[in-house]
Each structure stands twice: as C-alpha cells, then as structure tokens.
Structure 1
C-alpha cells in the first residue's frame, strides 16, 4: 500500500513542527510505509492500520527522540525491543550517520527490520536477536553503546535496568514515555545508583497534529553498572529498582 499525498504532506508538515526537514528522505519513508503495511498482512507487526495513525504514532513519534539533542554525529545506538523498527528505523533515515543496532527478542520481527534496512539501503546497521536481560551480560554488548533508545513499555525502573548496562560511561538512555511518567520516577535517584545512572531531564513534548503529550526521559550513565544487573526477567518484574 502506497503512502497517499495526504499522508506524505502530514509527515512533512509534522516533521517541520519537530524542527526536521524530511524532503530529502521522504522517498525512504514512503518505501517504509509500503513495506510495513504489506508485511503486516503476514505477521503482526503493529495494531495500527490507518495511514494517519502510522504516520503520527510510528514515524513522527519516533522522530521526537531527536528533540533530546543527543542523536547527532556518528554514534553507536541500540534500539532496545525495537519490535517493528520503532523508533530506530525513522531515526536511522533521519540521521544516517548513526550506527543503529536493532535489539529484538522475536525473530520474525527482527527479520522484518533487517529486510526493511536492506530494502531502504540503510547501511551501518546491525541486528541482535535476544532479550535485553541476556544480551546485556554478553561481553561484546555490555557497556558498548553511546546511546540507547526505547519506546517504553514497562516502568522506568524496569526500562533503566534493561538499558543502562548496555551503555558505556558517558552514554545516555532516551526513553519515550507518556505524561504519567512522573509517578514512575519516585525514588529514581536511589534506584539508578547501582545501575550507574542519574536522571538528567524529563523533556515535555507534544506530538504534531494530534496534540498528544509525550515525555522523553533522559538518563546519563555516569558510572559502571554493578555486575549483577540486569537481573532475570521475573526478578525485574517482581522487584523494580524504583
């Protein structure tokens, strides 16, 4: 299914509202839209079916990560639990200098993301199959990345435990959350200490066109994560650090 002229204009206009000019790369977003809608007929990649929803809640929502100001230049970025490639694919299109690692536990979703990168000609990408709780203990990935991005499902305590072990000291976690995130940050200073993180900023954003409220939670890695983190999935779910 092709992106309509209306969808194309919505994407371009929404990007301008975020301070981004997508005209040079709009053809890649058009290909991505066609690839996503076609693949979604075979495998369950997204519950969103309407063009407007995909443009706003997948493409533009992913690009709100750029408002952090922390995704400029040649950085190694891991998209944790990428699913259908969000926010990683739109970020890679908008910032081709990023070396993007897509981490996903569901093999068929990761295969789709890999195929999409090939179709779009996106180089400097890598694909990591597994759970973050396990991958973060592997020497080749632990404390490797400059940035981690995550479209947040789960609490900030859970997200932090999954992502911070993957970051090098001096790196940043950029977590996409809704306006309710303030309640999840109680005890954040104490909870982040064993992970080596400090809360730097909670950036308030509004999704273009829809007006939906978004928050970017930005956490800096200032010290090494204690070796036992991340814990096993059941321990993370049962006893969050905050």
Structure 2
C-alpha cells in the first residue's frame, strides 16, 4: 500500500488544516482498511490512494472550515457510509462525541473495525435516518448533524434537522450549484424549525467544486417530521 501520510499533511496544509504525523498515520490505517474491505463490500468507487486523500479525507475535513464545532460537541453523521465525514472529523478533533448512523449493517461492521483499530470512541447506530430521529435518545440531541449525500437538500433537511437541538446546526456537504439548491429549499428549512445560515464554496486540488451549506436550528421540529422515507422522496417539502 502506498504511504500517503506526507501527501495528506501537505494537501491539508494548503487549506490551513494542520495534520500531525500521528494523525496522518491514523488516516493511512483508515485508508488501508477502507481499500481492504472495499474488495468484500461496496464502500467507495474511489480506490486510488491519492484520490482517497483528496476526495474523502480532505473533502470531509473541509467541514471544519465552514462551521464552528464547539468543544465536546455531539455530532451525528447521517447515512455515514464508509465513515465520511465523521471518522476524519473525529481523527482531527478527538474531543467530538461522534455518532455514526447507517442503514446497512455491513458498513457499520467496517466502521467498528476502523474504530477498534484506531482506538476511536463512536456510537454506531443501525437505522434509517427517518427511524433514528424518532428515537427519544437521538431526537433534538445533537449540536451538529451532517450528511455527505447526493439527495436533494429538502430531503436531507427532513432527514437530518430532527436530530439537531435548538441552537445547533445541520451541515450539508454538496457539489456545485448548491447555492441555488439552498434558495429553493427555504420553505423546507423553515417548516423544520431552521434558517439558512451560510453557503461556502471550496475547490479540491483536482478542480472539483464543493459547497458546504449550514442550516441553523432556531425552533423544535414538528412531530410531523420526518415522514416515512417513501413520502419524503415522493413529495419533498
């Protein structure tokens, strides 16, 4: 396996994100596990080590440039998949109290091995997002919810904002064109007890555009939400 520690340190430094040698070594182990497990279950289409560094690790860490994460914050990564952005954020900020939620147990098995190998403490929850946010221990329980997903923003908001406590934020990690998507989602954001706070654009080293949208929770989300997943998909807010 190609060693990418120095590549990560240098790439992150270009974005004013300082990675220690120890952290870089942990990221290397994470990458090795990701590519090893990816041969057994579908975790990522990105398998070139340099692209893993840029399109998974750096991409995840850009979240810290877009929103302030309080010390000891409770953060839930909704539909975490192979652990992005949650695991990179925890490696960078070990004070975060991280919850990783995913609907596929195989992915959570992978994430358990990652946490065990790297000595990370994270809560792993096997549930669909709309089921998880109905659980009393999770609803209104987080300072931050984040999602790095391709679903339209109104759909993501309905999945994620019920997890966020008043004063917290939902952070959506999107590609290009997200500002227009944010403008078209004002009704959904308002219905769910939040307001659009910011939209920041970044460029990855290969020229790929990234947008990070922050929605601040200003009131409790109505018990009507989230609806069943099929209803959310069929008729977004």
Q: Structure 2 length as normaliser, TM-score?
A: 0.96
Q: For 1:215-226, list aligned pairs within 5 A.
A: 215-226=211-222
Q: Separation in 1 of the partners of 2:180 and 2:55?
A: 23
Q: Separation in 1 of the partners of 2:2 and 2:141?
A: 37
Q: Is the 8 A contact 2:5 2:25 kept in 1?
A: no
| Runs of 4+ that moved beyond 3 A | none
Q: Is the 8 A contact 1:3 1:30 kept in 2?
A: no
The number of equivalent residue pairs is 236
Q: Is the 8 A contact 2:196 2:215 kept in 1?
A: yes
**Which residue number corresponds to residue 110 of structure 2?**
112
The RMSD of aligned alpha carbons is: 1.2
Q: Quote the offset at 1:107 in angstroms.
A: 0.4
Q: Is the 8 A contact 1:167 1:221 kept in 2?
A: yes
Q: Quote the offset at 1:162 in angstroms.
A: 0.4
Q: Separation in 1 of the partners of 2:24 and 2:56?
A: 15
**Which residue number corresponds to residue 129 of structure 2?**
132
SS of alignment partner, residue 112 of structure 1: helix
Q: Quote the offset at 1:3 in angstroms.
A: 3.5
Q: Quote the offset at 1:206 in angstroms.
A: 1.5
Q: Quote the offset at 1:42 in angstroms.
A: 1.2
Q: Separation in 1 of the partners of 2:65 and 2:18?
A: 14
Q: Is the 8 A contact 1:202 1:217 kept in 2?
A: yes
Q: Quote the offset at 1:235 in angstroms.
A: 0.9
Is 1:236 aligned with 2:232?
yes
Q: Structure 1 length as normaliser, TM-score?
A: 0.94
Q: For 1:87-106, list aligned pairs within 5 A.
A: 87-106=85-104
Q: Quote the offset at 1:37 in angstroms.
A: 1.1
Task: Give 5+ residue unaligned stretches, structure 2.
Answer: none
Q: Separation in 2 of the partners of 1:224 and 1:35?
A: 39
Residues 76-115 of structure 1 deviation map (CA, whole Å, 9 limit, x = unaligned): 0000000000111111000000000000000000111111
Q: Quote the offset at 1:140 in angstroms.
A: 1.0
Q: Quote the offset at 1:185 in angstroms.
A: 2.4
Q: Separation in 2 of the partners of 1:14 and 1:118?
A: 27
